[in-house]
A and B are shown apart, each in its own frame.
Chain A
Amino acid sequence: MSTVEAAAGAAQTLSARREEIARDWAGLPLFTTVYGGQQDEAFAAAIRLVEAMVELAGSGRADDVQAPSFAIVRDVLSRITSDRLRSGGDLQQVMDEIGQLWVPLTEMFDSHPGAATVPAELLAVTELIGSLRVAAVVVLLSESDEVVARQRQELMEISTPVIRLWEGIVAVPLIGTLDSIRSQVVMESLLNGIVDEQAAVAILDITGVPMVDTLVAQHLMKTAMAVQLMGAECIISGIRPQIAQTIVHLGIDLREITTRATLSDALKYGLARTGVTLGAGG
């Protein structure tokens, strides 16, 4: 029996016994964790998956991820795995649970009397489940990419707080490296902070930035220029001696931006600019 014939045969069996399969699958962890006690929903989802697999098997191209029938499986699987991930599963767990779908099928395809070798159709079904797992990986990877990207974005936001130092003076203490994505987040946060506070002075403190090269300097410049376009004054503080030397050596021209060694110096400058005098003693 050729692989295509075996697959077609498997498709027939799967189709004929789809309700039985769906009932078995609906009782497996992949479905019970998502649908809880809702048997009907689990059953409906399981049947959708069987039907998608029938399509795939019938197409004779079970291992072709580009095939249209594969896309159908992927779509059905995508909903199941998203739901599964959301009910608290990790990649490994979900993969294992998909593998479990194979068990009820072996019993179904193994019931040929006197079989000494593994039936071709069972092989075809095994291959199908394998394709299912590949589809799941594709789905899960793109899901996790999105989750990772979102988490990264949120983390960046949290680590870039805008602080109101005084009336009309805001500051952003930068910590860590300043790549172009982070710099965009910093710019947006700072500018929005200027609007919220109607700030006249914005301080960018780079004490916590380990290294300043041409690119980092460019990001700082862009931020300062954007601050200036909004009518506020930008001060860069926390410039350590090594950083100062690097900037000089690289020939970076910061002449249009006010700079100070420490945040405290920057604040004093800012207070003077906003017309606040510091009284002596207290």
Chain B
Amino acid sequence: MDRIPILRLGSVLIVSVQGDLADALAVALRHDVGAAVSSGGITGVILDVSGVAIVDSYLGRVLTEIAADCSLLGASTVVAGIKPAVAITLVEMGFRLDGARTARSLEAAVAMLGADVAPTAILGSGP
């Protein structure tokens, strides 16, 4: 199964989620982010969902769970790029994104976490 790639930018992890996610992929992502943060030296995780058109309550919960995992591991989470239609839908459903901050874009999220420059490694892109 293809897994979602995780990019490391200094002490920050960046995950770019694209398209329509199968449930299993979301679960794998949670696992991979946990593993990456556990390796140490990570202070922040950015979940960039600007490429996601549909966030249902399941995906929403996985995002919340990732944030909770990271918090326990000492990293803060920012969900970036929620689209207007998605935001309206999530609110209408009564969904609350607990434990994570939000940013309007990946750039804004990076600025928010005060991250430092050069990408150092790409993790979690196994078969």
Contacts and interface: CB of A to CB of B under 8 A. Distances in A.
Given A231-B80, A231-B82, A226 B104 contact: no
Contacts of A198: 104-105, 108
B87 interface: yes
A213 interface: no
Interface residues of A, number: 19
A192 B81 CA distance: 13
A232 B104 contact: yes
A104 to B, nearest CB: 56
B88 A200 contact: no
Given A229-B82, A230-B82, A231-B80, A188 B104 contact: no
Residue of A188, A191, A195, A226 most packed against chain B (CB within 10 A) = A226
B71 interface: no
A187 interface: yes
A92 to B, nearest CB: 41
Given A222-B91, A225-B91, A226-B91, A231 B104 contact: yes
Chain A at the B interface: SS class: helix
B60 to A, nearest CB: 10
B91 A230 contact: no
A188 B84 contact: yes
A229 B91 contact: yes
Contacts of B87: 191, 226-227, 229-230
A194 interface: yes
Interface in A153-200: 184, 187-188, 191-192, 194-195, 198-200
Given A191-B84, A192-B84, A195-B84, A231 B91 contact: no
Nearest to B96: A225
Interface in A210-247: 222, 225-232
Contacts of A188: 84, 88
A228 B104 CA distance: 9
A230 B108 contact: no
Contacts of A184: 88
Interface string B86-105: 11101110000100011111
B102 A229 contact: yes
Contacts of B102: 228-231
A198 B91 CA distance: 20
B69 to A, nearest CB: 20
A230 to B, nearest CB: 5
Given A194-B104, A198-B105, A200-B104, A230 B84 contact: yes
A86 B103 CA distance: 47
Contacts of B103: 231
A184 B90 CA distance: 14
A229 B82 CA distance: 7
A172 to B, nearest CB: 14
Nearest to B84: A191
A173 B42 CA distance: 42
Contacts of A230: 82, 84, 87, 102, 104
A195 B87 CA distance: 12
A225 B101 CA distance: 12
A135 B97 CA distance: 53
Given A231-B102, A231-B104, 15 more contacts: A187-B88, A188-B88, A191-B84, A191-B87, A194-B84, A194-B104, A226-B84, A226-B88, A226-B90, A227-B87, A228-B102, A229-B90, A229-B97, A230-B104, A231-B108
Interface of A: 184, 187-188, 191-192, 194-195, 198-200, 222, 225-232
Interface of B: 80-82, 84, 86-88, 90-92, 97, 101-105, 108-109
Give 9 closest A-B pairs by Cβ, nearest first: A191-B84, A231-B104, A231-B103, A231-B102, A229-B87, A226-B87, A226-B91, A225-B91, A222-B91
